[in-house]
């Protein structure tokens, strides 16, 4: 199992790699909404300062997970590029924006 935050972190890395790999390509894509669906098990830590964690569950699961309550969640992420000065712009998979390109 991996934590939901780790899954999103890995997705961010993959999208960043795709952006870098596409630089200079003639064909490029505007990065639109990213939908992510996962089955998660909720684990609550009862200790002081405890927190709730969402663990991504594999389809085949283990005996331990069979005893846990699982939920299916869908996240829609809106990727944006944020410059050091805080300027936000749309992400492009490759190259420079062409006039009137959307």
Q: Is residue 100 part of a domain?
A: no
- Mean pLDDT, rounded, of the chain: 76
Contact criterion met (CB below 8 Å) for 18 and 95:
no
Instruction: Count structural domains, the chain.
Output: 1
Q: Is residue 51 part of a domain?
A: yes
Q: Is residue 77 part of a domain?
A: yes
Residue 73 has pLDDT above 70, yes or no: yes
Q: Distance between the two ends of the chain, CA-based, in angstroms?
A: 39
pLDDT score for 70: 75
Indicate the pTM of the whole model. 0.62
Residues 6+ apart with CB under 8 A from 17: none
Q: Is residue 41 part of a domain?
A: yes
| Section 68-77 average pLDDT | 79
Residue 91 has pLDDT above 60, yes or no: yes
């Amino acid at each position: 199992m991996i934590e939901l935050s780790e899954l999103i972190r890995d997705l961010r890395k993959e999208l960043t790699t795709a952006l870098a790999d596409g630089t200079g390509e003639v064909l490029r894509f505007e990065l639109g909404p990213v939908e992510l669906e996962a089955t998660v098990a909720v684990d609550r830590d009862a200790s002081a300062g405890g927190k709730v964690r969402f663990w991504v569950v594999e389809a085949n699961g283990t005996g331990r997970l069979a005893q846990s309550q699982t939920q299916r969640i869908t996240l829609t992420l809106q990727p944006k590029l944020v410059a050091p000065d805080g300027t936000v712009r749309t992400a492009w998979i490759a190259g420079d924006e062409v006039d009137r390109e959307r």
